[in-house]
Structure 1
Amino acid sequence: MENFDRNVFVNCPFDRDYKPLLLSIIFTIKYLGYLPRLSLESLDSSESRISKIANLINESKFGIHDLSRIMSSTENEPYRMNMPFELGIDYGTKFLKGGAWSRKKILILEKEKYRYQVALSDLSGSDIINHNDDAATVMKEVRDWFVVSESISAHSGNKIWQKFNEFHAYLYDRAVMNDGHESIEHLQIAEILKHIDNWLTNVNADIKDVA
Structure 2
Amino acid sequence: MVIAEKKNEIARMNMPYELGLDLGASWYGASPLNSKILLVLERKRGSVEKALSDHAGFDLRTHEGKVDLLLREVRAHFYSHLSSQHGGIRTDFPTHDELLAEWPLFLTWIQKRPGGTLRSESEIQHMEVAEFKDKVRQWLEAQKEPPQSQSPAYDLIREHAQERYDRFIQDAITPWAFFNTTHGISIDLPNGRTIRYSGIEFSGSARQVFWETFPESCIREITKTFFEWTRKLCAERKLSPILPLKETAMFLEGGLTRCLDRMAEIDRKLRGKGSPNSVPRYNPESERRALEKIITTRLKAELRLAGALA
Provide the TM-score with structure 1 as the length reference. Answer: 0.58
Q: Indicate the SS of the match to 1:204.
A: coil
Which amino acid is the alignment partner of residue 50 of structure 2?
Answer: V
Which amino acid is the alignment partner of residue 108 of structure 2?
Answer: A
Q: Which has the larger Rg? A: 2
Partner of 1:121: 53
Unmatched tracts of structure 2, length 5 or more = 84-88, 153-310
What is the number of equivalent residue pairs in this alignment?
142
Partner of 1:101: 33
Q: Does 1:169 align with 2:88?
A: no
Q: Does 1:155 align with 2:81?
A: no
Q: Does 1:178 align with 2:178?
A: no
Q: Summarize the Cα distance change of 1:186–1:88 in structure 2 as closer, same or farther, 3 Å threshold.
A: closer
Which amino acid is the alignment partner of residue 203 of structure 1?
Answer: Q
Q: Could you tell which deviates more after superposition, 105-114 or 81-90?
A: 105-114
Q: Summarize the Cα distance change of 1:104–1:132 in structure 2 as closer, same or farther, 3 Å threshold.
A: same
Q: Does 1:201 align with 2:133?
A: no
Alpha-carbon shift at residue 83 of structure 1 (Å): 0.6
Q: Indicate the SS of the match to 2:144.
A: helix
In structure 2, distance between residues paired with 1:86 and 1:187: 21
Which amino acid is the alignment partner of residue 157 of structure 1?
Answer: H
In structure 1, distance between residues paired with 2:64 and 2:78: 20
Alpha-carbon shift at residue 121 of structure 1 (Å): 0.7
Q: Indicate the SS of the match to 1:137.
A: helix
**Residues 179-210 of structure 1, C-alpha deviations (whole Å, 9 max, x = no match):** 56444335433333333222222222143655
Partner of 1:191: 131
Q: Indicate the SS of the match to 1:105.
A: coil
Provide the TM-score with structure 2 as the length reference. Answer: 0.41
In structure 2, distance between residues paired with 1:187 and 1:127: 27
Alpha-carbon shift at residue 165 of structure 1 (Å): 0.9
Unmatched tracts of structure 1, length 5 or more = 1-66
2:38–2:59 Cα contact (<8 Å) kept: no
Judging by fraction of residues, say which structure has more helix: 2
In structure 2, distance between residues paired with 1:126 and 1:199: 29
Judging by fraction of residues, say which structure has more strand: 1
Q: Summarize the Cα distance change of 1:76–1:180 in structure 2 as closer, same or farther, 3 Å threshold.
A: same
Specify which of 49, 56, 68 is matched with residue 136 of structure 1. Answer: 68
After TM superposition, list the pairs within 5 Å mapping 1:50-69 onto structure 2: 67=1, 69=2
Identity, % of aligned positions:
26
Specify which of 22, 25, 28 is matched with residue 90 of structure 1. Answer: 22
